[in-house]
Amino acid sequence: MEANSAKGTILLIEDEDEIADLVQMFFEQEGFRFVRAVDGEAGVERVREREPRVVLLDIGLPGIDGVEACKRIRAISDVPVLMLTARDSEIDKVVGLEIGADDYITKPFSPRELVARVRAVLRRAEERPTAPSVVEVDDYVIDSGRREVRLPDGVVVRPTAREFDLVWYLAERRGLVLSRAQILEGVWGYDYFGETRTVDVHVRQLRKKLPDVPIETVWGVGYRMSD
Ligand code: CA
């Protein structure tokens, strides 16, 4: 069994005490250290001071909102950020904007599901290859050691953690048609309860950042990176 200290600290930035108490209880039962902040500015400070392994960030906060807090966290840390969204309409705001969040969960969520998501985030972070490995697609170099994409003109693009996992997953399997469900399983690491549009939103982001990387839509199925 993993030692508690190895599990690290979870930071929750949430202004609703009832939710925060419940979430804290579940994570502490699982052996995580738990730190809380009730607004975005305090949350960003906690990231600096406590170096958490995962941040759970509510969107609706007093003062700066979760979107702004996420941007500020990204400016100082690569810590995985999981957003807590109150409404479906907020989801596009989270995944569509380039704020660097790794995942999101819609309220009301079960604490058990939240713990499962955090475990998946931690597992992915641990499974990242330590030996640099590179895939070339057309004249693009996708580098999993540096987690960056080098364009033919020498420009370096650093997608968000999740976007990089996605482009890497497609590039390693180039030529193969992959269903959205396969991609969710492979990149997100679990069944996303049918929320396959997450894949579409992230592909759209990748196409914006890497317009000439050949990610094809295969209608009715999913995606393929062409050879
Ligand atoms: Ca709130």
Q: What is the CATH number of the domain that holds 162?
A: 1.10.10.10
With cut-offs at 50, 70 and 90, classify the pLDDT of residue 211.
confident
| 179 Cα to the center of ligand 1, angstroms | 35
| 104 Cα to the center of ligand 1, angstroms | 14
Predicted local confidence at residue 70, as pLDDT: 92
Predicted local confidence at residue 27, as pLDDT: 94
Residues 116 and 206 in one domain: no
Q: Is residue 190 part of a domain?
A: yes
Residues 89 and 177 in one domain: no
- Count CA atoms within 13 Å of residue 86 on its CB side: 11
Predicted local confidence at residue 4, as pLDDT: 43
| 19 Cα to the center of ligand 1, angstroms | 9
Q: What does pTM read for this prediction?
A: 0.60
| 16 Cα to the center of ligand 1, angstroms | 6
**85 or 2, higher pLDDT:** 85
Predicted local confidence at residue 3, as pLDDT: 42
> What residues are paired with 56 via a beta bridge?
12, 82
- Mean pLDDT of the region 215-226: 93
**27 or 195, higher pLDDT:** 27
| 86 Cα to the center of ligand 1, angstroms | 8
Residues 63 and 98 in one domain: yes
Residues 33 and 123 in one domain: yes
| 136 Cα to the center of ligand 1, angstroms | 43
Length of the chain: 227
Can you tell me the distance from the alpha carbon of 33 to that of 21, in angstroms, rounded to the nearest whole number?
14
Q: How many separate domains does the chain show? A: 2
Q: Choose the final residue of a domain: 127, 148, 170.
A: 127
| 180 Cα to the center of ligand 1, angstroms | 31
DSSP string, 194-223: T-THHHHHHHHHHHHHSTTS-EEEETTTEE
Residues 114 and 146 in one domain: no
| 32 Cα to the center of ligand 1, angstroms | 23
Residues 111 and 58 in one domain: yes
| 18 Cα to the center of ligand 1, angstroms | 11
CATH number for position 78 = 3.40.50.2300
Q: Is residue 101 part of a domain?
A: yes
**37 or 108, higher pLDDT:** 37
| 78 Cα to the center of ligand 1, angstroms | 23
User: Cα angle at 21 between 15 and 27, to 5 degrees?
Assistant: 115
Q: Is residue 45 part of a domain?
A: yes
| 83 Cα to the center of ligand 1, angstroms | 11
Q: Choose the final residue of a domain: 127, 147, 171.
A: 127
Three-state SS for 85? strand
Instruction: Look up residue 185 and give its DSSP letter.
Output: I
Q: Are 62 and 68 in contact (CB under 8 A)?
A: no
| 125 Cα to the center of ligand 1, angstroms | 27
Rounded alpha-carbon distances, angstroms, from residue 103 to 121, 128, 140: 9, 17, 26
Q: Choose the final residue of a domain: 80, 105, 127.
A: 127
Residues 150 and 115 in one domain: no
Could you tell me the residue range of the domain that residue 217 belongs to? 134-225
| 109 Cα to the center of ligand 1, angstroms | 14
Residues 82 and 166 in one domain: no
pLDDT, tens digit (0-9, with 9 covering 90-100), for 108-134: 899 989 999 898 888 877 766 555 588
Q: Is the pLDDT of residue 1 over 50?
A: no
Predicted local confidence at residue 212, as pLDDT: 86
| 81 Cα to the center of ligand 1, angstroms | 16
| 107 Cα to the center of ligand 1, angstroms | 10
Give the chain's mean pLDDT: 86
High-pLDDT (> 70) share of the chain, %:
87
Predicted local confidence at residue 171, as pLDDT: 93
With cut-offs at 50, 70 and 90, classify the pLDDT of residue 2.
very low
Residues 59 and 20 in one domain: yes
